[in-house]
Amino acid sequence: MTIDEALDAGAPPIMAILRGIRPDEAVVIGRALVEAGIRLIEVPFNSPEAGVSIAAMADALGTEAAIGGGTILTVEMVDRLAAAGGRFMVSPNSDPVVIAHAIACAIEAVPGFLTPTEAFTAIGAGAHRLKLFPGSVFKPDYLSALRDVVPGDVGLWVVGGVGAANLAEWRARGAAGVGVGGSLYKPGDDDATVGARARNLVAAWKS
């Protein structure tokens, strides 16, 4: 499943960032997220054996959720993600070479940006969703200003410091979606805990 397919099926635009997850817990945590309504799941590549976790979730949940990799910094990482069955890549930066390689591998690129220059670099390389990161260093008004100049068909997602308490404010300023990490999952959290947090996030987005 791709990001577009998940969203078209009615999933809220909330990406779960499972930094630090282990392969032995990946499917259980992934299942809890899916059952709570979150269908976009990212495993950062600085997690233990990230490719193994991605492959396990892609195999078990790939028809129900879009499974991807994060902290993708190089072409080689893109190739590892493709081999694991990931459908999208997220990066903290906007590297045109990495973005173009991901697209050539049929992997959607969601690169990170902070400035308009970086945003347009990513768009020029073919990205149509961008990750404002770290969102915590700016107020939502900054996103609103970016929204005035970035083409309307490019989705701006916010990552960093986003949670149930401030989703509405970011959304009101033009966020097409959000990525949520530490307030949703930390290493050692069990599936019941993650599922409850996920349900709160979904409810906050829909409210």
For residues 153 and 129, give the distance between their C-alpha atoms in angstroms, rounded to a whole number: 9
Angle, to 10 degrees, between the axis of helix 140-149 and the axis of helix 116-124? 50
- Using CA atoms in the order 23, 181, 146, 121, what is the torsion angle rounded to 10 degrees? -30
* Cβ-contact 38, 179 below 8 angstroms: no
The torsion region of residue 67 among left (phi > 0), alpha (psi -120 to 50) and beta comes to beta
Active site residues: 42, 131
